[in-house]
Amino acid sequence: MKIGFVGLGNVGGKLAGSLLRNGKDITVLDLNPELVANFVSRGARSADDPAGLMQNCDIVITCLPSPAASDAVVSQMLDHVRPGKIWLEMSTTDEAEVKRLGAEVIARGGDAVDCPVSGGCHRADTGNISIFAGCDRATFERVLPLLTTMGRRILHTGPLGSASVLKVMTNYLATANLLTCCEAMVTMKAAGLDLATTYEAIKISSGTSFVHETESQVILNGSRDISFTMDLVKKDIGLFQAIADRAGVPLEISPLMVKIFNDGIARYGDRAQSDDIIRRLEEATGLDITAPGFPAEMVDDEPEEPGHEVVPRGRS
Protein backbone atom coordinates (compact mmCIF):
# COMPACT_ATOMS: atom_id res chain seq x y z
CA MET A 1 0.00 0.00 0.00
CA LYS A 2 1.36 3.40 -1.00
CA ILE A 3 0.75 6.17 1.52
CA GLY A 4 0.89 9.91 0.91
CA PHE A 5 1.29 12.28 3.85
CA VAL A 6 0.64 16.03 3.67
CA GLY A 7 1.74 18.17 6.63
CA LEU A 8 4.96 17.44 8.53
CA GLY A 9 4.50 19.85 11.43
CA ASN A 10 4.57 19.18 15.17
CA VAL A 11 2.05 16.34 15.02
CA GLY A 12 2.09 15.31 11.35
CA GLY A 13 5.85 14.88 11.25
CA LYS A 14 5.73 12.51 14.18
CA LEU A 15 2.84 10.46 12.78
CA ALA A 16 4.58 10.21 9.42
CA GLY A 17 7.75 9.25 11.28
CA SER A 18 5.96 6.29 12.87
CA LEU A 19 4.92 5.08 9.42
CA LEU A 20 8.44 5.44 8.09
CA ARG A 21 10.01 3.82 11.15
CA ASN A 22 7.74 0.81 10.68
CA GLY A 23 8.68 0.28 7.05
CA LYS A 24 5.67 1.78 5.30
CA ASP A 25 5.90 3.03 1.70
CA ILE A 26 5.43 6.76 2.25
CA THR A 27 5.57 9.86 0.06
CA VAL A 28 5.53 13.24 1.81
CA LEU A 29 4.56 16.83 1.02
CA ASP A 30 5.00 20.02 3.05
CA LEU A 31 5.46 23.72 2.40
CA ASN A 32 8.75 23.56 4.33
CA PRO A 33 11.37 21.95 2.05
CA GLU A 34 13.67 21.24 5.00
CA LEU A 35 11.06 18.99 6.61
CA VAL A 36 10.59 17.14 3.31
CA ALA A 37 14.34 16.76 2.85
CA ASN A 38 14.67 15.23 6.29
CA PHE A 39 12.11 12.54 5.42
CA VAL A 40 13.69 11.87 2.05
CA SER A 41 17.07 11.38 3.74
CA ARG A 42 15.42 8.68 5.88
CA GLY A 43 13.92 6.77 2.95
CA ALA A 44 10.66 8.52 2.07
CA ARG A 45 9.82 9.91 -1.35
CA SER A 46 8.64 13.45 -2.03
CA ALA A 47 5.73 14.75 -4.11
CA ASP A 48 5.43 17.96 -6.10
CA ASP A 49 1.78 18.66 -5.29
CA PRO A 50 -1.37 17.16 -3.71
CA ALA A 51 -2.76 16.10 -7.09
CA GLY A 52 0.25 13.93 -7.83
CA LEU A 53 0.12 12.47 -4.35
CA MET A 54 -3.49 11.31 -4.76
CA GLN A 55 -2.77 10.06 -8.27
CA ASN A 56 0.11 7.85 -7.15
CA CYS A 57 -0.97 6.71 -3.67
CA ASP A 58 -3.68 4.43 -2.27
CA ILE A 59 -4.21 6.50 0.88
CA VAL A 60 -3.49 10.20 1.34
CA ILE A 61 -3.26 11.50 4.91
CA THR A 62 -3.58 15.20 5.71
CA CYS A 63 -2.47 16.71 9.02
CA LEU A 64 -2.79 20.46 8.66
CA PRO A 65 -3.27 23.51 10.91
CA SER A 66 -6.72 24.68 9.80
CA PRO A 67 -9.88 23.72 7.88
CA ALA A 68 -8.86 26.23 5.19
CA ALA A 69 -5.54 24.44 4.69
CA SER A 70 -7.29 21.08 4.36
CA ASP A 71 -9.71 22.55 1.85
CA ALA A 72 -6.85 23.90 -0.27
CA VAL A 73 -5.09 20.53 -0.34
CA VAL A 74 -8.13 18.29 -0.86
CA SER A 75 -9.47 20.51 -3.64
CA GLN A 76 -6.30 19.84 -5.59
CA MET A 77 -6.62 16.08 -5.09
CA LEU A 78 -10.25 15.59 -6.07
CA ASP A 79 -9.72 15.10 -9.81
CA HIS A 80 -7.53 12.07 -9.04
CA VAL A 81 -9.85 10.33 -6.59
CA ARG A 82 -10.93 6.90 -7.88
CA PRO A 83 -12.67 3.87 -6.34
CA GLY A 84 -10.34 2.33 -3.76
CA LYS A 85 -8.63 5.62 -2.86
CA ILE A 86 -8.90 6.87 0.72
CA TRP A 87 -8.53 10.37 2.15
CA LEU A 88 -7.63 10.21 5.83
CA GLU A 89 -7.95 13.57 7.62
CA MET A 90 -5.84 13.71 10.79
CA SER A 91 -6.15 17.46 11.34
CA THR A 92 -8.24 18.89 14.17
CA THR A 93 -10.99 20.41 12.07
CA ASP A 94 -14.62 21.42 11.82
CA GLU A 95 -17.22 18.65 11.57
CA ALA A 96 -19.16 20.39 8.80
CA GLU A 97 -16.02 20.98 6.74
CA VAL A 98 -14.75 17.41 6.98
CA LYS A 99 -18.21 16.16 5.99
CA ARG A 100 -18.29 18.53 3.00
CA LEU A 101 -14.85 17.53 1.74
CA GLY A 102 -15.49 13.87 2.54
CA ALA A 103 -18.67 13.96 0.48
CA GLU A 104 -16.66 15.26 -2.48
CA VAL A 105 -14.24 12.34 -2.13
CA ILE A 106 -17.02 9.79 -1.75
CA ALA A 107 -18.90 11.20 -4.77
CA ARG A 108 -15.88 10.31 -6.89
CA GLY A 109 -15.81 6.73 -5.65
CA GLY A 110 -13.27 7.13 -2.86
CA ASP A 111 -13.62 6.80 0.90
CA ALA A 112 -13.05 9.38 3.63
CA VAL A 113 -12.12 9.13 7.31
CA ASP A 114 -11.80 11.91 9.86
CA CYS A 115 -9.05 10.66 12.09
CA PRO A 116 -7.74 13.16 14.68
CA VAL A 117 -5.28 12.20 17.39
CA SER A 118 -5.13 12.93 21.12
CA GLY A 119 -2.46 12.50 23.77
CA GLY A 120 0.32 14.97 23.07
CA CYS A 121 3.14 15.35 20.57
CA HIS A 122 5.46 13.25 22.72
CA ARG A 123 3.16 10.24 22.31
CA ALA A 124 2.70 10.89 18.60
CA ASP A 125 6.48 10.57 18.35
CA THR A 126 6.49 7.01 19.73
CA GLY A 127 3.34 5.63 18.12
CA ASN A 128 1.58 5.57 21.49
CA ILE A 129 -0.97 8.30 20.79
CA SER A 130 -4.73 7.70 20.71
CA ILE A 131 -6.64 8.00 17.43
CA PHE A 132 -10.33 8.57 16.74
CA ALA A 133 -11.80 7.42 13.39
CA GLY A 134 -15.11 8.53 11.90
CA CYS A 135 -16.28 6.51 8.88
CA ASP A 136 -18.31 3.45 7.94
CA ARG A 137 -17.21 0.17 9.50
CA ALA A 138 -15.88 -1.36 6.28
CA THR A 139 -13.58 1.61 5.68
CA PHE A 140 -12.48 1.56 9.32
CA GLU A 141 -11.38 -2.05 9.02
CA ARG A 142 -9.40 -1.20 5.86
CA VAL A 143 -7.46 1.58 7.59
CA LEU A 144 -7.15 -0.04 11.05
CA PRO A 145 -3.75 -1.68 10.33
CA LEU A 146 -2.41 1.73 9.32
CA LEU A 147 -3.88 3.41 12.38
CA THR A 148 -2.40 0.83 14.74
CA THR A 149 1.01 1.67 13.26
CA MET A 150 0.63 5.35 14.17
CA GLY A 151 -1.25 4.96 17.46
CA ARG A 152 -1.86 2.64 20.40
CA ARG A 153 -5.57 3.08 21.14
CA ILE A 154 -7.92 3.35 18.16
CA LEU A 155 -11.59 4.25 18.62
CA HIS A 156 -14.18 3.91 15.85
CA THR A 157 -16.41 6.84 16.76
CA GLY A 158 -19.21 6.38 14.20
CA PRO A 159 -19.91 8.10 10.86
CA LEU A 160 -17.73 10.65 9.12
CA GLY A 161 -17.49 13.82 11.24
CA SER A 162 -18.04 12.15 14.60
CA ALA A 163 -14.32 11.88 15.35
CA SER A 164 -13.81 15.61 14.75
CA VAL A 165 -16.60 16.48 17.18
CA LEU A 166 -15.09 14.28 19.89
CA LYS A 167 -11.57 15.58 19.24
CA VAL A 168 -12.66 19.20 19.65
CA MET A 169 -14.39 18.19 22.89
CA THR A 170 -11.20 16.60 24.26
CA ASN A 171 -9.16 19.71 23.40
CA TYR A 172 -11.74 21.86 25.17
CA LEU A 173 -11.38 19.72 28.29
CA ALA A 174 -7.58 19.83 28.06
CA THR A 175 -7.69 23.63 27.87
CA ALA A 176 -10.00 23.82 30.87
CA ASN A 177 -7.55 21.58 32.75
CA LEU A 178 -4.63 23.81 31.75
CA LEU A 179 -6.31 26.97 32.99
CA THR A 180 -7.31 25.43 36.34
CA CYS A 181 -3.78 24.01 36.83
CA CYS A 182 -2.37 27.49 36.24
CA GLU A 183 -4.73 29.02 38.77
CA ALA A 184 -4.03 26.26 41.30
CA MET A 185 -0.25 26.55 41.10
CA VAL A 186 -0.21 30.35 41.28
CA THR A 187 -2.59 30.30 44.25
CA MET A 188 -0.48 27.71 46.09
CA LYS A 189 2.68 29.76 45.48
CA ALA A 190 0.91 32.86 46.80
CA ALA A 191 -0.17 30.88 49.85
CA GLY A 192 3.43 29.95 50.59
CA LEU A 193 3.44 26.33 49.37
CA ASP A 194 6.43 24.72 47.68
CA LEU A 195 5.69 24.19 43.98
CA ALA A 196 7.36 20.77 43.67
CA THR A 197 5.31 19.58 46.62
CA THR A 198 2.22 21.14 45.06
CA TYR A 199 2.88 19.25 41.83
CA GLU A 200 3.09 15.92 43.67
CA ALA A 201 0.01 16.67 45.79
CA ILE A 202 -2.05 17.22 42.67
CA LYS A 203 -0.54 14.20 40.90
CA ILE A 204 -1.46 11.70 43.64
CA SER A 205 -4.90 13.16 44.31
CA SER A 206 -8.35 13.39 42.82
CA GLY A 207 -7.25 16.69 41.28
CA THR A 208 -4.81 15.13 38.86
CA SER A 209 -5.21 14.95 35.08
CA PHE A 210 -3.24 14.12 31.96
CA VAL A 211 -2.67 17.84 31.45
CA HIS A 212 -1.28 18.29 34.95
CA GLU A 213 1.07 15.32 34.67
CA THR A 214 2.47 16.63 31.38
CA GLU A 215 1.97 20.38 30.92
CA SER A 216 2.45 21.38 34.55
CA GLN A 217 5.96 19.95 34.28
CA VAL A 218 7.05 22.20 31.41
CA ILE A 219 5.35 25.15 33.09
CA LEU A 220 7.39 24.55 36.25
CA ASN A 221 10.55 24.12 34.19
CA GLY A 222 9.94 27.55 32.67
CA SER A 223 10.24 26.43 29.04
CA ARG A 224 6.43 26.22 28.63
CA ASP A 225 7.25 24.19 25.48
CA ILE A 226 4.38 21.78 24.85
CA SER A 227 4.56 22.08 21.01
CA PHE A 228 1.12 23.67 20.87
CA THR A 229 0.46 27.35 20.33
CA MET A 230 -2.18 29.81 21.48
CA ASP A 231 -3.68 30.29 18.02
CA LEU A 232 -4.36 26.55 17.83
CA VAL A 233 -6.00 26.58 21.26
CA LYS A 234 -8.19 29.49 20.16
CA LYS A 235 -9.19 27.58 17.02
CA ASP A 236 -10.08 24.41 18.92
CA ILE A 237 -12.07 25.96 21.75
CA GLY A 238 -13.80 28.15 19.17
CA LEU A 239 -14.83 25.02 17.27
CA PHE A 240 -16.20 23.54 20.50
CA GLN A 241 -18.16 26.71 21.22
CA ALA A 242 -19.59 26.55 17.68
CA ILE A 243 -20.77 22.96 18.28
CA ALA A 244 -22.50 24.06 21.48
CA ASP A 245 -24.07 27.05 19.71
CA ARG A 246 -25.46 24.84 16.94
CA ALA A 247 -26.85 22.43 19.53
CA GLY A 248 -28.39 25.22 21.60
CA VAL A 249 -26.31 24.53 24.73
CA PRO A 250 -25.84 27.72 26.84
CA LEU A 251 -22.24 27.23 27.97
CA GLU A 252 -20.79 29.39 30.73
CA ILE A 253 -17.15 28.30 31.11
CA SER A 254 -16.34 28.06 27.38
CA PRO A 255 -16.89 31.76 26.56
CA LEU A 256 -14.61 32.72 29.46
CA MET A 257 -11.88 30.42 28.15
CA VAL A 258 -12.14 32.03 24.71
CA LYS A 259 -11.83 35.45 26.36
CA ILE A 260 -8.74 34.37 28.34
CA PHE A 261 -6.93 33.07 25.26
CA ASN A 262 -7.87 36.12 23.20
CA ASP A 263 -6.17 38.18 25.92
CA GLY A 264 -3.16 35.84 25.93
CA ILE A 265 -2.76 36.20 22.17
CA ALA A 266 -3.04 40.00 22.44
CA ARG A 267 -0.26 39.99 25.04
CA TYR A 268 2.14 37.33 23.78
CA GLY A 269 1.27 36.66 20.14
CA ASP A 270 -0.49 33.97 18.12
CA ARG A 271 2.48 31.61 18.15
CA ALA A 272 3.23 31.79 21.86
CA GLN A 273 3.20 28.39 23.52
CA SER A 274 -0.22 27.62 24.98
CA ASP A 275 1.30 27.10 28.43
CA ASP A 276 2.49 30.72 28.36
CA ILE A 277 -1.07 31.53 29.41
CA ILE A 278 0.17 31.25 33.01
CA ARG A 279 2.19 34.44 32.45
CA ARG A 280 -1.04 36.45 32.81
CA LEU A 281 -1.24 35.34 36.44
CA GLU A 282 2.52 35.62 37.01
CA GLU A 283 2.40 39.23 35.84
CA ALA A 284 -0.71 39.98 37.91
CA THR A 285 0.85 38.61 41.11
CA GLY A 286 4.56 39.20 40.55
CA LEU A 287 5.20 35.51 41.28
CA ASP A 288 7.57 33.18 39.44
CA ILE A 289 5.91 29.79 38.86
CA THR A 290 9.01 27.66 38.29
CA ALA A 291 10.77 24.95 40.27
CA PRO A 292 13.96 22.91 39.79
CA GLY A 293 13.95 19.32 38.57
CA PHE A 294 11.26 19.47 35.91
CA PRO A 295 11.87 18.71 32.20
CA ALA A 296 12.01 21.35 29.45
CA GLU A 297 9.96 19.17 27.12
CA MET A 298 7.88 16.04 27.41
CA VAL A 299 9.34 12.72 26.24
CA ASP A 300 7.28 9.53 26.08
CA ASP A 301 9.16 6.95 28.16
CA GLU A 302 6.67 4.16 27.47
CA PRO A 303 7.91 1.55 24.98
CA GLU A 304 6.21 1.55 21.59
CA GLU A 305 3.50 -1.09 21.54
CA PRO A 306 1.26 -2.49 18.81
CA GLY A 307 -1.96 -0.54 18.59
CA HIS A 308 -5.41 -1.99 19.19
CA GLU A 309 -9.05 -1.03 18.77
CA VAL A 310 -10.85 0.32 21.82
CA VAL A 311 -14.43 -1.00 21.86
CA PRO A 312 -17.02 1.06 23.81
CA ARG A 313 -19.07 -0.70 26.46
CA GLY A 314 -22.14 -2.43 25.10
CA ARG A 315 -20.80 -2.60 21.55
CA SER A 316 -20.04 -6.04 20.19
pLDDT of residue 309: 97
Write the DSSP string, 218-249: HHHHS----S-BHHHHHHHHHHHHHHHHHHT-
| pLDDT at residue 282 greater than cutoff 90 | yes
Over range 25-52, report the average pLDDT.
97
Res 302: pLDDT: 84
Task: Provide the pLDDT for residue 4.
Answer: 98
Helix 230-247 and helix 253-268, axial crossing angle in degrees, nearest 10: 160
| pTM above threshold 0.85 | yes
Whether 120 has a pLDDT exceeding 80, the answer reads yes
State yes or no: pLDDT of 316 exceeds 80: no
Report how far residue 77's alpha carbon sits from residue 73's, in angstroms, rounded to the nearest whole number.
7
Alpha-carbon distance of 298 to 67, in angstroms, equals 27
Per-residue pLDDT of 80-107, as tens digits, reads 999 999 999 999 999 999 999 999 999 9
Mean pLDDT value across residues 268-297: 98
